[in-house]
Amino acid sequence: MTHGTHGTNGTSTLESIDGRIDALAASLKSVVERLAAGATSVEQQASAVRRGATTRAGAMANQVTTAIETYPLAAIGIAFGAGFLLMRMIRK
């Protein structure tokens, strides 16, 4: 058979190719849908983690503020000590 002629064999080959393309397109659509659902799930989990971290950071900030107000001299001493140690580490 030459190029350009379409006999029964050529038609069935084209139909077979069309069927395979349709099956591949359906598979790809399914994969894309699963990826999109997974991305949404990851986004929701990341948002929950971010909210939790923000809440914990706020609680820690409140604890530090309370400790500084309760023990101001100790807070100054700790800040001085931390600054001194940091300076020593940077100089080396």
Q: What's the pLDDT band for 2 if we cut at 50, 70, 90?
A: very low
pLDDT tens for each residue of 50-83: 999 999 999 999 999 999 999 999 999 999 999 9
The pTM of the full predicted model, rounded to 2 decimals, is 0.49
Domain enclosing residue 71, as ranges: 8-91
The torsion of the CA quartet 80, 81, 83, 89, rounded to 10 degrees, works out to 160
Amino acid found at 46: A
Q: What is the DSSP string of 12-52?
A: HHHHHHHHHHHHHHHHHHHHHHHHHHHHHHHHHHHHHHHHH
Tell whether 1 is covered by a domain.
no
Query: Domains in the chain: how many in total?
Result: 1
Tell whether 2 is covered by a domain.
no
pLDDT tens for each residue of 16-35: 898 899 999 999 999 999 88
- Rounded to 10 deg, the angle between the 72-91 and 8-70 helix axes is 120
